[in-house]
A and B are shown apart, each in its own frame.
Chain A
Amino acid sequence: MTAAQIPMTAWLLFIAPVTAILIGFFVLRPLKPEWTHWPILISCAIVTLCAFSLTARVYSGRGSFDVNFWRWAAAGDWAIDFGLRIDGPGTAVLSMVALVGSLIHVYAAGYMEGDPGFSRFFLVFHLFFLAMIGLLTANNYVQLYLFWEMVGVASYLLIGFWLHKESARKAALKAFLTNRVGDFGFLLALLLILVNFHVAHFHLLYVVIGSQLAHGQIPSSLPLIGLLLIWAACAKSAQFPLYFWLPDAMEGPTPTSALMHAATMVTAGVFLLIRSWPLIAAVPYLPHLIAGIGAFTAVFAALLAATKRDLKRILAYSTVSHLGLMMLALGMGDITLAIFHLIVHGFFKAALFLCAGNIGHAVHKPTVDVDEVGGWAKALPATYVVFWICALSLAGIWPMAGFYSKDAIIDFAREGGGWIAWAAPLISFGSAFYIFRMLLLTFHGDRPEQNRLQKHPHEAGPMMVVPIAFLAVGAALVGWIAPALSRLVATGWIGLPVGLAGMTGVLNLPGNVSLPALSVRDMFSLGGGMAALGAASAYYLTMIDAGFDWRWRKAKPGTDAAFDADLGWKTLVAAFASGVAAFARVTGRVFDKGVWDGLIESGAEAFYDVSDGLATFAQGRLNDALWWMAAGALLILGMAIR
């Protein structure tokens, strides 16, 4: 296939957003800023249609392609080409990102209405979306890195959107710098890939590595490259030890959080690992490492989510936990399962964030604590229903979509054995607990401790209700796409480039690209049971023993503070950051300016002093000159005599 044969639908994925952003920036922003969202919403619709059309083509088995169309840079025998790769994993994630992202765009048009930064918000928001589309369709690491960084910049600008808030500025900086620390791993991995394999193109890389593996040797650089890529993914997908930027990132407007947590940012790390899977799977212990990181992060974040008060913060930790589950699935070698959970999570998490947005909207605050609201089931009926559906889905309760994806992971982990098998049910229990705690504290019951901000909350307008209703439908039903997804990923992944099919075994590609068949018997599975137990515990501690949350915080302020600092990890990170800053101050102010430059300048001054001193011998007085002449003559005379 040549560049000319790339279908128009693929080009439109880029043409539509770029055009919309350009029109918005150059025409509407100066003239009619409150209309900035119109071209952008049209672009969303076009992108969604194109994404589904491409997905259908790939699904039919005829539409996968991987084509270069642009020589980006070259020198000597070094060259980087840009291209498009449309394949199963890419389109599977792309169609979710396009659909969920578009719904969030619609919601944002309602949520941000009247904000003085409306047009700035929409332009950056759409840039964020565009970056993710580019990331999912890149066909080589350099291009992926380009969009990866673009995602980072867009998120930076959105998290710091409310510039006047110090917390927002700090959170933006924290997010960007943490991601930058992760990018260090990506960039280095990219350089090592180029040094060792001379290609950055995914497909060619698979071929090169595959042929080396076929000769029974693992390239010696591969373990390090894999580790660095995992490091990069840990930053972007908020995994331990680099997860800490994500909970703070909720400082941005709520649609940003929804987009970031569901579709455009945090899934990028998981996707990077999916793209790199043949590299990682070639090194025996790397998948186990991924699974371990994922399992640990999932348990750790679920525990923390259960102790947080801010609605968006609870959801943020929940995202960290669910990303851990995706990593766990991936680490166990099941790409499709990871993608499946990524898609399902995208729907319910976007909806949950937007519900939190509606609650905030009702009290006119960007963020809300669980103490500040309560018993709002009647006041916000639509939000309440959506929240319920999504909470069930998140907790993994049949027949919601979350049940299928989560339970499959937990079953899979249990079969795998080891300590991960024990982590899985804990995650189930934990996630059901924190989401029902949040649900019950927000919408049910009546607690005297709750200091309600608003006596008469009201539901938001249709722009903010219709999108979440659609998302809730997704959160309830997308579980049924599992068989189709299996086929899509298998078609696109194995069938795509020439030679890959034969390489599957050699590359240690995941054996099960098809998801396990699900039956009703699974509803009584361990995961479901643990989830029910979690929900029941939450019910007990919020409805029956209604003041529990407030009581333990008062009784044990030390424990509360420890949870607040993420069991000390945040403190450590802050200490590291201030250590680097202090080192920089010492280098820049004390050493460079004081010691080194001081030495050089005092050297110059000493030189002046010496020449001043010497100048006393040469002040042009006749007497002096005569004396020197006499001395010189004597010297010459003396030498001549001897």
Chain B
Amino acid sequence: MSLLTAMWTFPLAAAAFCLAAGRFGRSTARAAALAVSIVYFALSLWLLRPFVASAGQAVLVVSGRPLAFGVSYLLSADGLSAALIALTAFLNLLCVLASWKLDVSAGYWAAFQALAAALAGVFLARDLFFFYVFWEATLIPMFFIVGIWGSDNRRHAAVKFFLFTFAGSILMLLALIAAVVAHHGLTGVWTWDLKALLGTEFGAAAPWIFLGLVVGFGVKIPIVPLHTWLPDAHTEAPAAGSVMLAGVMLKMGLYGLIRVAFPLLPGITVAWAPYMALVAGVGTVYGALCAMAQTDLKRLIAYSSIAHLGFCLLGLVSLTAVGLAGGSLQMINHGITTGALFFLVGFLYERGHKRGLSDFGGLVKRAPVFSFFFGFAVFASIGLPGLNGFVGEFMCLSGIAISQAPIYAVVGCVGVTLAAAYLLPAYQSVFWAPEGPGSVSDHVDDLDAREKGILWTLCALMLWIGLAPHAWLQVLEPSIRGLVK
């Protein structure tokens, strides 16, 4: 079995293994989950290795026999896929560690492994049918993670998340079918092979196919009018669920744009780029304004994701090397930074069972290490130069300023400015301000060794990418080279 196939079958088997281990008790399942996620992370680094060695030039391919209806089993990895899978495996491992003290059934651990399997499939599939199947498959474990192990309003959030994103995926499926049918009409060949479909002249159907894809992917990103599932789902999910949601699942939408929508319809992409840039720019400011209005810490971070993903989208639709590379890097960055923030909010919730900004106060005295890490992640999220967030934002804005009118960069800069205006006051009121009435700060102990380890890893990555992004960009850049206008 090739490495690429192993990338999604291994976690799937691991999910079954966790369930089986659950028969011997909850802690056995937990230990099993830890073991498999360590192995999976090692596997993902093994996958990433040739791309680092060759500065992203390598490409790994698996092509199976054609199945029915032009569907064939095709997998391929380039720097972007490998990096996103490494991110998935990395966050998956941290999620297992972060959930260590939860008293949950084996299903919880299995769901995370299954999610990793589906995500890896999305990032590897080069056959659109398989792409769609993996895409939808990600919904199932996440539906259970939110619906079963979420907080008070979890049922509502899970159903909303499922229906919302499912509706988007249906549009995407219709668009994919339309593309395949149109290709058959022109050539008489049924194929779902992405490579074979590239270069097809879709004619009048092209805008509709593109629209279907953009809306389908856009729900996932999410772009602004289609975003309202996100705050609910992120807020109600358990901490690790939010991390996977924000850290990896949102990136599926952007990945879909880079991998499927843009290459399939390059003409429309160029023509629509200004409108997409407008949507992205509005999204950054709108997300930031909404975040400013939040009183729930987790909801605030959820809205900040909308703003940050707006930057990524701005970079991608610039269709310049710097914007696309910056957008890709920002996908990784956002996973690390927002992942860290969601972990920290999760730790806070575990201790105090509250998430409101006014439910805490004075934590800097009670939990100095906690507040150090939170502050670090906040500054990374604000886009402080020297940390990872700045690199991505700056490159995205450079890209959009080069390719479109600088007015988009102006809008983006407003978003950058506002980021401080929602994160710092929230940070101050939780960590610096004295405790108010009804504060649960008393229950908040400082981070233990396991939690510190998680945060040290994430913060070290933030600093590393911030100071030396070049090596990371070299892995990602060859993947997007073909999209440059």
A73 with B401, Cβ < 8 A, contacts A160-B432, A164-B434, A177-B420 known:
no
Selected from B325, B406, B424, the residue in CB contact (under 8 A) with A76 is: B325
Is A585 engaged at the interface, CB distance under 8 Å to the other chain? yes
Looking at the assembled complex, report how far the CB atom of B83 sits from the nearest CB atom of chain A, in whole angstroms.
14
Q: List, in ascending order, chain B residues with CB within 8 A of A183's CB.
A: 416-417
Which A361-416 residues sit within 8 Å CB-CB of chain B?
Answer: none
Contacts of A195 in B (CB 8 A): 398, 401-402, 406
Q: Is the CB of B420 within 8 A of A149?
A: no
Decide if B473 is an interface residue (CB 8 Å cutoff): yes
Contact pattern, B 14-49, Cβ under 8 Å of A = 1, otherwise 0: 000000000000000000000000000000000000
Question: Is there an interface contact between B322 and A78, defined as CB atoms closer than 8 Å?
Answer: yes
Roughly how many angstroms separate A78 CA and B391 CA in the complex, as a whole number?
13
Knowing A169-B432, A583-B289, A584-B289, the reply to whether A72 touches B416 (Cβ < 8 A) is no
Q: A589–B293 contact, CB under 8 A? A: yes
CB neighbours (8 Å) of B428 from chain A are 160, 169, 172-173
Contact with B along A43-83 (1 / 0, CB 8 A): 00000000000000000000000000001111111100000
Pairwise interchain contact A149-B385, C-beta atoms closer than 8 A: yes
Query: In the complex the two chains form, is A584's CB within 8 Å of B292's CB?
Result: yes
Residues of A with C-beta under 8 A to B469: 72-73
Q: Flag if B470 contacts A71 (CB, 8 Å).
A: yes
B247: A residues at CB distance < 8 A: none
Q: How far is the CA of A584 from the CA of B473 in the complex (A)?
A: 35
A641 at the interface (CB under 8 A from B): no
Question: B473 contacts A184, CB within 8 Å?
Answer: no
Q: Which of A538-592 contact B (CB under 8 A)?
A: 580-581, 583-589, 592
Cα–Cα, bound, A587→B469 (Å): 35
Contact of B395 among A73, A176, A177 (CB under 8 A): A73
Tell me if B397 is interfacial: C-beta within 8 Å of chain A. yes
CB–CB B293/A150 < 8 A: no
Given contacts A73-B470, A78-B398, A173-B425, whether A187 and B294 have CB atoms under 8 Å apart is: no
Distance, CA A589 to CA B292, complexed state (A): 10
A191 touches B420 (CB 8 A): no
- Residue contact A153 to B379, C-beta cutoff 8 Å: yes
Residues of A within 8 A of B406 (CB): 188, 191-192, 195
Also in contact, A163 and B364, with CB within 8 A (given A149-B385, A184-B417, A583-B289): yes
Tally inter-chain residue pairs, CB-CB below 8 A.
137
B440 to chain A, nearest CB (A): 19
Contact B293 A75 (CB under 8 A): no
CB distance from B290 to the nearest CB of A (A): 4
Scan B234-250; emit 1 where CB is below 8 A from any A CB, else 0.
Answer: 00000000000000000
Q: In A115-167, which residues have CB < 8 Å from any B CB? A: 142, 145-146, 149-150, 153, 156, 160, 163-164, 166
Inter-subunit contact A588/B294 (CB<8 Å)? yes
Given known A146-B386, A150-B386, A596-B225, contact A75–B477 (CB-CB < 8 A): yes
Q: Inside 8 A of B253's CB, which chain A residues have their CB?
A: none
Residues of A within 8 A of B75 (CB): none
Q: Which residues of B contact A584 (CB under 8 A)?
A: 289-290, 292-293, 422
Contact A173-B424, Cβ < 8 Å, known A71-B470, A73-B391, A588-B292: yes
Is A191 a contact of B401 with CB atoms below 8 Å? yes
| A82 shortest CB reach to chain B, Å | 9
A12 at the interface (CB under 8 A from B): no
Q: Which of B84-92, B256-264, B407-415 contacts A (4 or more CB under 8 A)?
A: B407-415
Question: A581 to B473, Cβ gap below 8 A?
Answer: no
Evaluate contact between B163 and A604: CB separation under 8 angstroms.
yes
Cβ of A597 within 8 Å of any chain B Cβ, yes or no, is yes
B383 to chain A, nearest CB (A): 9
The answer for the CA separation of A77 and B320 in the assembled complex, in Å, is: 10
Nearest Cβ on chain A to B78's Cβ, whole angstroms: 15
Q: Are A184 and B416 in contact (CB under 8 A)?
A: yes
* B357 smallest CB distance to A (angstroms): 13
CB-CB under 8 A from B434, the residues of chain A are 164
Interface residues as binary, B272-316 with A (CB distance below 8 Å gives 1, 0 otherwise): 000000000000001001111110000000010000000000000
Asked if A180 lies at the interface with its beta carbon under 8 angstroms from chain B, I say yes
| Cα distance, A334 to B429, chains bound together (Å) | 46
A163 to B434, CA, bound (A): 9
Cβ of A222 to closest chain B Cβ, rounded Å: 14
Whether B344 sits at the interface, judged by CB under 8 Å, is no
A76 and B420 contact, Cβ closer than 8 Å, known pairs A71-B470, A150-B386: no
Residues from chain B with Cβ under 8 Å of A600 in the complex: 228
Judge whether A597 and B228 touch: CB under 8 Å: yes
Task: Write out the residue numbers on chain B whose beta carbons fall within 8 Å of the beta carbon of A75.
Answer: 321-322, 324-326, 395, 473, 477
Give B436-485 interface residues, CB cut-off 8 Å to A: 468-470, 473, 477, 481, 484
- Taking a contact as CB atoms under 8 Å apart, the answer to whether A596 and B417 are in contact is no
Q: Which of B422, B428, B468, B477 counts the most A-chain CB atoms under 10 A from its CB?
A: B428
Contacts of A160 in B (CB 8 A): 428, 432
Query: A596 contacts which chain B residues (CB < 8 A)?
Result: 225, 228
Interface core residue of A163, A583, A592, A601 (most chain B CB under 10 Å) = A592
- For A72, what are the chain B residues with a Cβ–Cβ distance below 8 Å? 468-470
- A194 located at the interface, meaning its Cβ lies under 8 Å from any Cβ of chain B in the complex: yes
Query: What residues on B are CB-neighbors of A169 within 8 Å?
Result: 428, 432-433
Q: Which residues of A contact B394 (CB under 8 A)?
A: 142, 187
Closest A residue by C-beta to B292: A584
- Distance A592 CA – B293 CA, assembled complex (angstroms): 10
- List which B204-233 residues lie within 8 A (CB) of chain A: 225, 228
Known: A150-B385, A188-B409, A587-B293. A166 touches B433 (CB 8 A): yes
**Chain B, residue nearest A157 (CB):** B375
Q: How far is the CB of A302 from chain B (nearest CB, A)?
A: 31
Give Cα A589–Cα B294 distance, bound, in whole angstroms. Answer: 8
B384 near A: Cβ within 8 Å?
Answer: yes
Contact B413 A187 (CB under 8 A): yes
Which chain A positions have C-beta within 8 A of B424? Answer: 156, 173, 176-177
Whole-angstrom CA separation of A172 from B293 in the bound complex: 20
Chain B residue with minimal CB distance to A590?
B293
Contact A181:B417 (CB < 8 A) given known A584-B292, A597-B228: yes
Tell me the residues in window 584-642 of chain A with beta carbons closer than 8 Å to chain B beta carbons: 584-589, 592, 596-597, 600-601, 604
State A381–B279 Cα separation when bound (angstroms).
66
User: Does the CB pair A184–B470 fall under 8 Å?
Assistant: no
Asked if B367 is at the interface of the complex by the 8 Å CB criterion, the answer is: no
Chain B minimum-CB-distance residue to A598: B228
Provide the bound-state CA to CA distance between A39 and B420, in Å: 32
A487 to chain B: closest CB distance in Å?
34
The residue of chain A having its C-beta at the shortest distance from the C-beta of B325 within the complex is A75
The reply to whether the CB of B181 lies closer than 8 angstroms to some CB of chain A is: no
Chain B residues with CB below 8 A from A604, complex form: 160, 163
Q: Once the chains bind, are B290 and A587 in contact (CB under 8 Å)? A: yes
- Contact (A73, B293) CB under 8 Å given A149-B384, A191-B406: no
Q: What is the bound-complex CA distance between A385 and B362, given in angstroms?
A: 42
A contact residues around B401 at 8 Å (CB) = 191-192, 194-195
CB of B373, distance to nearest CB on chain A (Å): 13
Other than A184-B414, A588-B294, give 19 A-B pairs with Cβ distance below 8 A: A72-B470, A75-B321, A75-B322, A76-B481, A145-B385, A149-B386, A153-B379, A160-B432, A180-B421, A181-B417, A187-B397, A187-B413, A194-B398, A195-B398, A584-B293, A584-B422, A588-B303, A589-B293, A596-B225
- 30 A-B pairs within 8 Å (CB atoms) are namely A75-B321, A75-B322, A75-B326, A76-B320, A76-B325, A78-B320, A78-B402, A142-B385, A146-B386, A149-B390, A153-B379, A156-B424, A164-B434, A169-B432, A169-B433, A176-B420, A176-B424, A180-B420, A191-B401, A191-B406, A191-B409, A581-B292, A585-B292, A587-B289, A588-B290, A588-B293, A588-B303, A592-B286, A592-B293, A600-B228
- Give me the interface of A with B, judged by CB distance under 8 Å: 71-78, 142, 145-146, 149-150, 153, 156, 160, 163-164, 166, 169, 172-173, 176-177, 180-181, 183-184, 187-188, 191-192, 194-195, 580-581, 583-589, 592, 596-597, 600-601, 604
Closest 8 CB pairs of A and B: A76-B321, A588-B293, A75-B325, A584-B292, A146-B385, A588-B290, A78-B322, A597-B228
